[in-house]
Amino acid sequence: MVFRNIGRFLLLMLLQLFVFDNIYLGGYINPCLYILFIAMLPTSMPAIPMMLIAFGTGLVADMSSNMLGFNASACTVVAFLRGIWLDKIVRGDNNNEIDTPSIRTVPYQQYSLYLFLLILAYNIVYHSLLVFDITGLFSILLTALLSTAVTWLLAVLYQTLLFRKDNSGGSHRPGATSPK
């Protein structure tokens, strides 16, 4: 489990640093796929370590892009909200135990809403800190919504390509043979 999370962190952070940080989409769209790492951390992780890991994740992104803690702040807020939204949206009244929230372990609509809200929270905090001016409220909201939509789409695509379901209802990694 630990190695899987380390691998996920490295893959998502490398994609962020070498691909998504180098894509210019009109200045209004800033995809941040590495947020998926925070969203997919184990549900059994206590809140304080979760927020410290999220802060560290944001700090790595800040250091690589010469920012002043904007990513670290936004990621910490995401980690805080993650536990609340995980209980309300994903687990719901059933109180289902899920080890790692992902597109293969949670019903699609619930996971999509959970992921969309986490990404939206990140983008609102990040772009509010970036602009830090009430006169730029429209710009903050537009950029946050567009970045959220693109990041959400990339996150769903990433998980769909990485984990596909077979006909029997199970899921497996691409290239793996399914039992008959």
- The model's pLDDT over 142-162, given as tens digits with 9 standing for 90+, comes to 889 989 999 999 999 988 887
Considering its fold, how many domains does the chain have in total?
Answer: 1
Q: Tokens 């992780």 sit at which residue?
A: 45
**Which structural domain, as residue segments, surrounds residue 61?**
2-164
pLDDT in tens, 28-54: 788 889 999 999 999 889 999 999 999
Q: What is the DSSP letter of 177?
A: P
Residue type, 153: L
Q: Does residue 176 sit within a domain?
A: no
- Which CATH number goes with the domain that contains 151? 1.10.1760
Cα 7 to its chain centre, rounded Å, is: 15
106 domain-assigned: yes
Q: For residue 178, is it within any domain?
A: no
Q: Please check whether residue 179 lies inside any domain of the structure.
A: no
pLDDT digits (tens, 9 = 90+) for 81-100: 998 998 888 776 555 677 88
Is the model's pTM score more than 0.75?
Answer: yes
